[in-house]
Amino acid sequence: MKVSVLGLGAMGSGIARNALRIDPSLLVWNRSAAKSAPLVAAGAHAAQSPKAAALERDIVLSMLADDSALEAVLEGPDGLLAGLAPGALHVSMSTIAPATAERLGERHRERGQRFIAAPVFGRPDAAAAAKLFIVAAGDPAECERARPLLEALGQRVFLVGERPAAANVVKLCGNFMILSAVEAFAEAMALARKSGVPAAQLVEVLTGSLFDCIAYRGYGSTLAQERFRPAGFAAPLGLKDMRLVAQAAEAQRVPMPLVGLLRDHLLETIALEGEDIDWSAIGRTIARHGGL
């Protein structure tokens, strides 16, 4: 199986490194070429363009920052669409709007190319350790074709339907639920602290009982220790995701009152703390509202 990886940020680099185990001839591409060097040192080959990375490949994975970065990689004379062979498969792992995924699928279909969406849950350390949770959707045969590769990148692969956009909906729902959990935990901590209960004690009880899971253990500890820099997931990226949720909710006519609240707390956090802070620093904003 001949594989390429487009996009070598913190997430894409870890993914590419694990993809090397499936295809030792792996091709990689990144907009700023310098990020290819460590992977080339590990055995991969650097392509000069998305098109070059796609030629004669079976599967091209992409992991870009946002919708417009991904669309820029697809289009144009040097783009992925121009290089991918008919029947070859593009696996889109970025967190993008469901509507964008539908549009991309259409673009590939026009050229006889295949497309599935496979966004992931997990931070860069999980990507490096092949511990991602991968949510895939699209034509079942194509999902099966990608499965050995995806299983090399994550600890579990979920299939959520035949329309690629379904995977992006689930991914956005997950990010929304993570930040909602942070919000609730932070509000509870503010009350606990002002009532004389240390935040760490609240975390111990709740993650030792009803909330004994990754999201609460991880963010509970981050909040209690106020470990917001360096950002594991920067607040402006979180704001972008909440905007995608709000747009999808508006398109589907679904009120989601928590989204407005989360968005406002992110805006305030960015306005007062700057752009380089973790999205969970809404907890600091919430604490400050209580005079802490």
Q: For 207-271, give the DSSP string.
A: HTTTT-SHHHHHHHHHHHHT--SS-SSBHHHHHHHHHHHHHHHHHHT---HHHHHHHHHHHHHHH
Residue with Cβ nearer its own copies (12 or 98) = 98
Asked if residue 154 lies in contact with residue 130, where contact means CB atoms within 8 angstroms, the answer is: yes
Interface segment toward its own copies; rule CB under 8 A; list 1-9, 43-51, 61-69, 177-185: 177-185
Least gap, CB of 45 to its own copies (angstroms): 33
10 Å CB burial of residue 125 (0-12, 13-18, 19+) is exposed
Interface segment toward its own copies; rule CB under 8 A; list 33-41, 76-84, 226-234, 251-259: 251-259
Q: For 2-16, give the DSSP string.
A: -EEEE--SHHHHHHH
Among 22, 65, 231, 258, binds its own copies (CB under 8 A): 258
Among 106, 213, 227, 229, binds its own copies (CB under 8 A): 213
Residue 215 makes contact with its own copies by CB under 8 A: yes
Interface segment toward its own copies; rule CB under 8 A; list 9-17, 19-27, 37-45, 171-179: 171-179
3-state secondary structure of 76: coil
Residue 284 makes contact with its own copies by CB under 8 A: no
Residue 66 makes contact with its own copies by CB under 8 A: no
Interface segment toward its own copies; rule CB under 8 A; list 17-25, 65-73, 183-191, 222-230: 183-191
Separation of alpha carbons 43 and 38, rounded Å: 9
Residue 111 makes contact with its own copies by CB under 8 A: no
Instruction: Indicate if 2 belongs to the active site.
Output: no
Residue 140 makes contact with its own copies by CB under 8 A: no
Residue 209 makes contact with its own copies by CB under 8 A: yes
Separation of alpha carbons 49 and 40, rounded Å: 15
Residue 125 makes contact with its own copies by CB under 8 A: no
Q: Which of 2, 35, 51, 171 is catalytic?
A: 171
15-18: which pairs have CB atoms within 8 A and are 24 or more residues apart?
Answer: 15/61, 15/63, 15/93, 15/127, 15/132, 15/153, 16/44, 17/42, 17/128, 18/127, 18/128, 18/130, 18/152, 18/153
Q: Please tell me what DSSP assigns to residue 93.
A: -
Least gap, CB of 60 to its own copies (angstroms): 24
Question: Which residue from 252, 18, 277 is spatially nearest to 152, judged by alpha carbons?
Answer: 18
Among 22, 46, 128, 192, binds its own copies (CB under 8 A): 192
Residue 233 makes contact with its own copies by CB under 8 A: no
Beta strand pairing status for 154-159 and 59-62?
Answer: unpaired
Residue 135 makes contact with its own copies by CB under 8 A: yes
Residue with Cβ nearer its own copies (49 or 222) = 222
Asked if residue 117 lies in contact with residue 161, where contact means CB atoms within 8 angstroms, the answer is: no
Residue with Cβ nearer its own copies (37 or 173) = 173
The pair of three-digit structure tokens given for residue 152, joined into one six-digit string = 């090399």
Among 29, 115, 176, 228, binds its own copies (CB under 8 A): 176
Least gap, CB of 69 to its own copies (angstroms): 19
Catalytic positions, please? 171
